[in-house]
Amino acid sequence: MTHPATTVCPAHAGEVAIDHHSAYYRDHVHELMAELRSACPIARSSAYGGFWIFTDYATVQAAANDDDLFASTPGVAIPPAPMPVPILPVESDPPLTQKLRALVLPQLSPRAVEKLEPQMRQIATEQIDTFIERGRCDIIRELTTPLPARLILRMLGFDESRWPVWVDAVHTLVHARAQQPQVAAQAGGVLVDELTRERTLRQGRPADADLYSAIVHGIVDGEPLDELQSIVYGLVMVIGGLDTTSGLTGNTLLQLLHDDGLRRRLVEDRSLLPAATEEFLRHDSPTLGLARTVSRDAEFFGHQLREGDRALLMWTAANRDPAMFDDPDTIDIDRAERRHMAFGVGAHRCLGSTLARRMFGVMIDEILTRLPDFRLAGEPELFEEAGELRAVRRLPIAFTPGRPSGSSGAPSPGPTATS
């Protein structure tokens, strides 16, 4: 594939001092990306052995759609994740990618997700009932984290009451990987042990028993997935289900806390929520970017890339490119252009995008219905780093106390996660 030429940055302008795992990057990512996008949309950082950073819509879209030049193997993280094998299906390339994704697509299809909405509502009701009489809560730890966690564990066929164990390990693996690699590796070990135990339990179950059984019994090109392949595939399902949707919801609630007009519109007219969801995804999706590896020497938008170079595709920067979106830093739920990259692009577009949208919509809907006057009741706290995912860790709110709805018949919500 030949890529068009664009303005080529001078050599001195193309070198940037950006550490995407630093606290400064976490707190100023949108300003940093705007500066790069304006001055040098294809730049290079010397951190972590050196890597390219793509920050405008055209370059990110072109790279994401060119799996031949920009490979997802050996890894999509900088520095690499501490795993002994590629994390499938994310760290795979076509045509293998499509074959791996086919194993779980039926359980994540729009029709399957629609059938899950009553369970989402039930979990939301149970979680809100635990704190609505108090008139205050940490909405992250008491709703936006447990709801996705409980649902994905239920889909996988795991014990959902143990969601805090999974959440703590996932948060440590994702948010401490660069700054505390040993601690992150230990958390990864906990997850691998849990997934290994669950895999053993599925040896006698049919492939359609649950989502993890579909993976464990998955066959690709006539060969079953081996133990490590099925474990890392399960890990992707867990991380995607437990962390990203909560991150999007927390980021959105922060915006609503500072925009009373938008909140009133959504409270009064819930039909606006689908359009608002796309705008929240564009404006503040927690997944900032993922890496690719250059497969051969090639010229890309006027820059000479070398085989083995790493490139960080910044979805969040592309989503705020003024060449694509008018007034991109403003949340405008009436925006006509909605082709954002919050879920990635191409063969690796997020498998769980339909599920994520639906869970997010249910949580926002339930909050606007049962806690419509929520307000900030303390200092919000972000996770320590945002190398791949920027999200709120703690968000204390207060609201007019209400009455529990009295739902019953489902598993106990379980304890509150400490991470």
Domain ranges of the chain: 11-398
Neighbours of 272 (CB within 10 A): 15
Length of the chain: 419
pLDDT of 1 strictly over 90? no
pLDDT digits (tens, 9 = 90+) for 292-334: 999 999 999 999 999 999 999 999 999 999 999 999 999 999 9
Encoded tokens for 195: 């997934």
Which of 36-40, 101-105, 394-398 comes out lowest in average pLDDT? 36-40
| pLDDT tens sequence across 355-374 | 999 999 999 999 999 999 99
pLDDT of residue 358: 97
User: pLDDT grade, residue 14 (50/70/90)?
Assistant: low
> Could you tell me which residues come within 8 angstroms of residue 389 by beta carbon, excluding any fewer than 6 positions away?
174, 175, 243, 244, 247, 286, 287, 288, 383
b/e burial code for range 338-359 (CB count within 10 A of at least 16 → b): eebbbbbbebbebbbbbbbbbb
Residue 296 CB-half CA count within 13 A: 6
CA separation for the pair 332, 354 (Å, rounded): 22
**Average pLDDT value for residue range 182-192:** 92
Note the pLDDT of residue 411.
42
Q: What is the pLDDT confidence band of residue 417, given thresholds at 50, 70 and 90?
A: low
State pLDDT tens for residues 74-104.
999 998 877 778 999 999 999 999 999 999 9
Q: What are phi and psi of 52, to 5 degrees?
A: -80, 155
Is the pLDDT at 204 greater than 90? The verdict is no
pLDDT digits (tens, 9 = 90+) for 215-265: 999 999 999 999 999 999 999 999 988 889 999 999 999 999 999 999 999
Q: How far apart are CA 101 and CA 95, in angstroms?
A: 10
Q: Quote the percentage of the chain above a pLDDT of 70.
A: 93
The superfamily CATH assigns to domain 11-398 is Cytochrome P450 (1.10.630.10)
Q: How far apart are CA 231 and CA 237, in angstroms?
A: 10
Mean pLDDT, rounded, for 14-32: 88
Q: What is the mean pLDDT of residues 61-72?
A: 98
Q: What's the confidence (pLDDT) of residue 2?
A: 42
Mean pLDDT (the chain) is 92
Instruction: Please say if the pLDDT value at position 13 is more than 80.
Output: no
Phi, psi (5° rounding) for residue 413?
A: -60, -20
What is residue 419's predicted lDDT score, i.e. its pLDDT?
45
State yes or no: pLDDT of 289 exceeds 90.
yes
What would the mean pLDDT of 157-163 be, rounded to a whole number? 97
